[in-house]
């Protein structure tokens, strides 16, 4: 039996669709009068305006609790990590003595990295501080801004300073310098009033044998207390991170050596297996010599 719907022609279906879109008899557009559409649009306008206002108010209230200078929460930043320069992919320092391009890129990175440490720039921007003491600059009720910073001069890096150095930080002779820096943590009193220093070792027995001798600058890999506390990027505008340079003197060539450097400080943990960069850094060193 043929249904009524099946009897409709294409023209009838089209007419019904046109009438649904606009019905001239009832003056309805898609089944609603102009007044009905106006009320619906007004409702959604008010509804979304309310949501926007609520979101804006919530964000404003939250922003009032935040400081421009100090993070509100620092739970995940309790222990500073270590990092190396030159910073390379996979933390692998490769020096091919027969291919100068393999190490020139490291030299360029270090030239740029160490430029702010030039003695002339440090003398212009930063203070000569008393070694062995924290350089505290409390606000005492009045905003003490900007905070002053202590000088860390490039000449303190000795043979790794790159100043008048024909060996290019030792990379052209297979005695490369690797720089260790400790990440910044705001208001952290590193060392807990005791001297800190960086030590480096081969991760395994064979690494220790292949690592050979190395020299550290400043002497013993010391990091002075006067560079702490750090007050934040906006407060400590000219802050210069202290560095420790490690010059590897006679690494066994053509062998990949795994090196681990740690900061020795009373209040910095270096044995957290969940965070392998907490207070330490591991990298690979390979000197290719044909």
Question: How far is Cα 127 from Cα 84, in angstroms, rounded to an integer?
Answer: 26
b/e sequence 160-193, b meaning 16+ C-beta within 10 Å: bbbeeeeebbbbbebbbbbbbbbbbbbebebbee
- Write out pLDDT tens, residues 186-203: 989 999 899 899 999 999
d(CA 147, CA 10): 81
Contact present, 69 and 231 (Cβ < 8 Å): yes
Q: How confident is the model at residue 216 (pLDDT cuts 50, 70, 90)?
A: very high
Contact status, residue 64 vs residue 72, Cβ threshold 8 Å:
no
Tokens 């360029």 sit on residue: 108
What pLDDT, on the 0 to 100 scale, is given for residue 56? 97
| Residue 75 pLDDT | 67
Dump pLDDT digits (tens) for 233-263: 888 989 999 999 999 999 999 999 999 999 9
CA 264/CA 255 separation, integer angstroms? 28
Q: Kindly state the average pLDDT of the residues 33-60.
A: 93
| Start-to-end C-alpha separation, the chain | 93
What does pLDDT average to over the chain? 89
pLDDT tens, 79-138?
A: 899 999 998 888 999 999 999 998 999 999 999 999 999 999 999 999 999 999 999 998
pTM metric for this prediction: 0.78
Length of the chain: 290
State residue 1's pLDDT score: 46
Q: Edge to edge, what strands does the sheet with 280-288 contain? A: 92-96, 280-288, 256-264, 196-202, 222-223
């Amino acid at each position: 039996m043929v249904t009524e719907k099946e009897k409709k022609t294409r023209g009838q279906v089209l007419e019904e669709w046109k009438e649904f879109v606009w019905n001239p008899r009832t003056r309805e557009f898609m089944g609603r009068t102009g007044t009905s559409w106006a009320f619906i649009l007004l409702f959604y306008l008010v509804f979304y305006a309310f949501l926007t206002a609520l979101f804006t108010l919530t964000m404003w209230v939250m922003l009032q609790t935040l400081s421009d200078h100090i993070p509100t929460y620092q739970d995940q930043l309790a222990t500073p990590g270590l990092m190396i320069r030159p910073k390379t992919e996979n933390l692998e320092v490769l020096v091919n003595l027969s291919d100068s391009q393999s190490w020139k890129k490291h030299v360029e990175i270090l030239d740029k990295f160490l430029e702010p440490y030039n003695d002339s720039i440090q003398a212009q921007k930063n203070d000569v501080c008393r070694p062995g003491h924290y350089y505290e600059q409390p606000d005492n009720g009045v905003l003490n801004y900007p905070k002053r910073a202590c000088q860390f001069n490039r000449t303190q890096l000795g043979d790794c300073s790159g100043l008048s150095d024909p060996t290019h930080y030792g990379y052209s002779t297979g005695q490369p310098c690797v720089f260790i820096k400790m990440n910044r943590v705001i208001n952290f009193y590193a060392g807990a009033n005791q001297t800190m220093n960086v030590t480096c070792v081969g991760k395994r027995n064979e690494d220790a044998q292949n690592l050979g001798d190395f020299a550290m600058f400043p002497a013993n890999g010391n990091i002075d207390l006067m560079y702490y506390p750090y007050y934040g990027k906006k407060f400590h505008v000219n802050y210069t991170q202290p560095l420790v340079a490690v010059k590897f003197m006679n690494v066994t060539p053509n062998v990949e050596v795994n090196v681990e450097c740690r900061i020795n400080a009373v209040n910095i943990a270096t044995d957290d297996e969940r965070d392998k960069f907490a207070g330490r850094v591991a990298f690979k060193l390979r000197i290719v010599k044909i």
